[in-house]
Amino acid sequence: MKRAAFLCFGLAALAGAVLVVLSQQWWFAIVGVAAVFAAWGYTGGKKPYGYLGLGDIFVFIFFGLVATLGTTLTQAGRLNVDAWIMAISTGLFACALLMANNVRDIPGDREVGKKTLAVRLGDAKARLTFAAEMAVGMVLPLLLVSYNPWVLLVYAMTPLALAASATVLKSKERRALIPVLKQCGLVNLGFTVLYALAVLVHQYV
Instruction: Please write the tens of the pLDDT for every residue from 70-93.
Output: 888 888 888 889 999 999 999 999
**67/20 same-domain check:** no
- The pLDDT of residue 41 is 84
Residues 74 and 114 in one domain: yes
Average pLDDT for 6-26: 80
Q: Among positive and negative, which fits the CA dihedral 79, 83, 84, 87?
A: negative
Question: 10, 26, 44: which is the final residue of a domain?
Answer: 44
CB atoms within 10 A of CB 14: 9
Residues 165, 131 contacting (CB under 8 angstroms):
yes
Are 38 and 106 members of one domain?
A: no
Query: Is pLDDT at 203 greater than 90 in this prediction?
Result: no
Q: Does 27 share its domain with 87?
A: no
Which range of residues forms the domain containing residue 139? 47-204
Please state, for a pLDDT cut of 90, what percent of the chain lies above it: 60
Pair 79, 12 in one domain: no
Range 128-143 burial, b when 16+ CB lie within 10 A, else e: ebbbebbeebbebbee
pLDDT given at position 74 = 81
Q: How many domains does the chain have?
A: 2
Query: Are 121 and 143 found together in one domain?
Result: yes
Write the pLDDT tens digit of every residue in 41-74: 887 777 888 888 899 999 999 999 998 998 888 8
DSSP secondary structure of 134-146: HHHHHHGGGGGTT
Mean pLDDT, rounded, of the chain: 90
In tens, the pLDDT along 150-175 reads 999 999 999 999 999 999 999 988 88
The per-residue pLDDT for 180 is 95
Give yes or no: residues 8 and 60 share one domain: no
Claim to verify: residue 36 and residue 52 sit in the same structural domain: no
Tell me, yes or no, whether 24 and 57 share the same domain.
no
pLDDT at 106: 93
Q: What is the pLDDT of residue 8?
A: 79
Q: How far is 85 from 74, CA to CA, in rounded Å?
A: 18
Same domain, 1 and 89: no
Q: Are residues 52 and 3 in the same domain?
A: no
Asked which of 75-79, 125-129, 130-134, 201-205 is least confident by mean pLDDT, the reply is 75-79
Tell me: do 35 and 66 sit in the same domain. Answer: no
